[in-house]
C-alpha cells in the first residue's frame, strides 16, 4: 500500500473479485490522477513541474516498486517510468506541467500510478 499526496484529486482503484470499485482515497495500490486547471497558478508557474508525493504505508514492506504512466505531449504514446518508494521516506515525483487539464474538455491527461507486487 502507498499513500499519495498532492493538490489534486486521486482515485484509488480497489479490485474485489474481478470487479473494480473506485473510491476517493489517498491510500491504495493503484491510482488514476488528474491535475485540474488553476488559472491563478498558471500565471506564475507555467513551465514548472507538477509535484506528486508518494510514501509506503504497508507495515509489511520496507519498499515498493511503482510504475507511473502518463501520455506524451501531443502524442498517442505514453511515458512509463519505474520508481522505488521506501517506507519512512517520501518520494517526490516531478511530472510535466502539460499534464494539467485546461478548460472544460475531454482529455487523456491522466497519470496512472501502480504499486507492484503481491498484496
Q: What is the dihedral of CA 88, 68, 12, 3, to 10 degrees?
A: 10
User: Residue 10 and residue 95: Cα distance in Å, rounded?
Assistant: 15
Query: What's the pLDDT band for 15 if we cut at 50, 70, 90?
Result: very low
Q: What confidence tens digit (pLDDT) does each residue in 21-79 have? A: 555 567 778 888 888 877 666 566 666 788 888 888 877 778 889 999 999 988 889 99
pLDDT exceeds 60 at position 118: no
Instruction: Give the domain range for residue 52.
Output: 2-115
List, for residues 78-115, the tens digit of each pLDDT value.
999 999 988 888 889 999 988 888 888 888 899 999 98
Q: What is the pLDDT of residue 10?
A: 46
Number of domains in the chain: 1
pLDDT above 80 for 116: yes
What would the DSSP string read from start to end of 36-77?
---HHHHHHHTTSPEEEEEEE--TT-SEEEEEEEEEPTTSS-
Amino acid at each position: 500500500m502507498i499513500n499519495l499526496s498532492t493538490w489534486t484529486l486521486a482515485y484509488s482503484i480497489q479490485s474485489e473479485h474481478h470487479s473494480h470499485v473506485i473510491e476517493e482515497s489517498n491510500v491504495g495500490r493503484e491510482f488514476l490522477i488528474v491535475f485540474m486547471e488553476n488559472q491563478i497558478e498558471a500565471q506564475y508557474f507555467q513551465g514548472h513541474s507538477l509535484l506528486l508525493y508518494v510514501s509506503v504505508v504497508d507495515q509489511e514492506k520496507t519498499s515498493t516498486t511503482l510504475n507511473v504512466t502518463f501520455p506524451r505531449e501531443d502524442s498517442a504514446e505514453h511515458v512509463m517510468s519505474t520508481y522505488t518508494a521506501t517506507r519512512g521516506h517520501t518520494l517526490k515525483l516531478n511530472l510535466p506541467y502539460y499534464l494539467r487539464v485546461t478548460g472544460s474538455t475531454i482529455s487523456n491527461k491522466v497519470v496512472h500510478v501502480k504499486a507492484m507486487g503481491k498484496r
